[in-house]
Amino acid sequence: MDGWETRRKRIPGHDWCIIKLAMPAVIYGVDFDTAFFTGNYVPRASVQAALLSEEGESCESDLARFPPRRSGQGKAATAEELKAVKALKTERWQRITSMCRLRAGYRQTRHNFAPVSDRNVYNVVRLNAFPDGGIARLNVYGHACPAWDHDFTDELVDLVLAKNGGVCVMHSNAHYGHPRNLIAPGRGVNMGDGWETARRLDRPAILEADHRGVLRVPGEEWAIFRLGHRGTIVNIEVDTCHFKGNFPDAVRVEGCDVERFTEDTLDTYYNWTPILLPQKLEADKQHYYSGDEVLPHQPVTYVRVTMSPDGGISRLRLHGRRAFDRFQTWTHGIDAVQQALH
């Protein structure tokens, strides 16, 4: 089986495993996927979580105290390993899901989703299997919360990348693909791995263009993103990979510097600052903008990407420099994130 399956338990207790998340995150839900485990799936499961120190994986860090991971198919943890983990008291970690009853791994029943209401930041989880059995995948859904340092250098970072804390908070149309795909790592694998809208019905019967070749159309589609950190944008990449007959005619980027509590009203916000004027796009191509193409602007916390009239974009990259978080409850460290979310 392509998953984690434990032996049939013949001793007291239940099975568990410790998993380090790819990055610190606020967890919004967990999916226990029992695919193909039809007669041997875990009947009940729960998840606990913790935020452990991991500075350089030094001997002083919490994560460094765990026994080294090894491939142990057909074997159980040794007494020494169990003793070392017991000393860490992982069974006392915060329980973020109750004990959930799982279903067999058939296509219609394999996914068992449990919402998480806890809004703390965690970087490691403990999966409890009651009492034993198999789970194909554990999917942990949330928003990344990087532990940004307080030193603001000239180093360029992708301010909107999901792994850096970027989040799509609002959009006008996501008929074929959600705009959150724009901030995923790597290049898109197909059109479904990008943002594609429906065709606008208000487009003119005969299209005309201005002196720059940009179409004169009344409609447009937009998506708003919360940056992972307040900052100024230096370089922009708009990738239309895989979109050959359905790419947008043009794209523009704007920003605003507002507090997080205004997020739900950004669709009616009027004071957007232009960062990238409308630019003509081409099919299946990475478009790079820098220098004078990126307009001077003050640090921003949100950006709005607008395509006209409609179509598909695969990826968006906004490389810039981090700036001081004047709101003090933005992404200025994990503690600030937790306070802002409570």
pLDDT in tens, 245-286: 999 999 999 999 998 888 889 988 889 999 999 999 999 999
SS (H, E, C) the chain: CCCEECCCCCCCCCEEEEEEEEEEEEEEEEEEECCCCCCCECCEEEEEEECCCCHHHCCCCCHHHCCCCCCCCCCCCCHHHHHHHHCCCHHHCEECCCCEECCCCCCCCCEEEEECCCCCEEEEEEEEEECCCEECEEEEEEEECCCCCCCCCCCCEECCCHHHCCEEEEECCCCCECHHHHHCCCCCCCHHHCEECCCCCCCCCCCCECCCCCECCCCCEEEEEEEEEEEEEEEEEEECCCCCCCCCCEEEEEEECCCHHHHHHHHHCCCCEEEEEEEECCCCCEEEECHHHECCCCCEEEEEEEEECCCEECEEEEEEEECCCCCCCCCCCHHHHHHHHC
Residue 323, in any domain of the structure? yes
77 & 209 share domain: no
161 & 280 share domain: yes
88 & 165 share domain: no
Contact present, 85 and 17 (Cβ < 8 Å): no
198 & 322 share domain: yes
Residue 152, in any domain of the structure? no
What pLDDT score was predicted for residue 97?
A: 98
pLDDT beneath 50: ranges in the chain: 58-59, 329-342
119 & 169 share domain: no
Residue ending a domain, among 116, 144, 172, is 144
Residue ending a domain, among 115, 144, 173, is 144
Quick: pLDDT tens for 47-56: 999 999 876 5
What pLDDT score was predicted for residue 195?
A: 99
132 & 169 share domain: no
321 & 205 share domain: yes
Q: How many domains does the chain have?
A: 2
86 & 204 share domain: no
What pLDDT score was predicted for residue 238?
A: 99
Residue ending a domain, among 118, 144, 170, is 144
248 & 119 share domain: no
CATH code of the domain covering residue 303: 2.60.120.260
What pLDDT score was predicted for residue 331?
A: 44
283 & 334 share domain: yes
C-alpha R_g of the chain: 23
What pLDDT score was predicted for residue 322?
A: 94
Q: Which of 163, 121, 170 is nearest to 268 (CA)?
A: 170
| Six token digits for residue 325 | 């978080």
Range of the structural domain that residue 46 is part of: 4-144
Sign of the CA dihedral with 254 first, then 259, 265, and 271 last:
negative
Residue 150, in any domain of the structure? no
138 & 169 share domain: no
112 & 16 share domain: yes
| Six token digits for residue 332 | 């200025």
What pLDDT score was predicted for residue 339?
A: 46
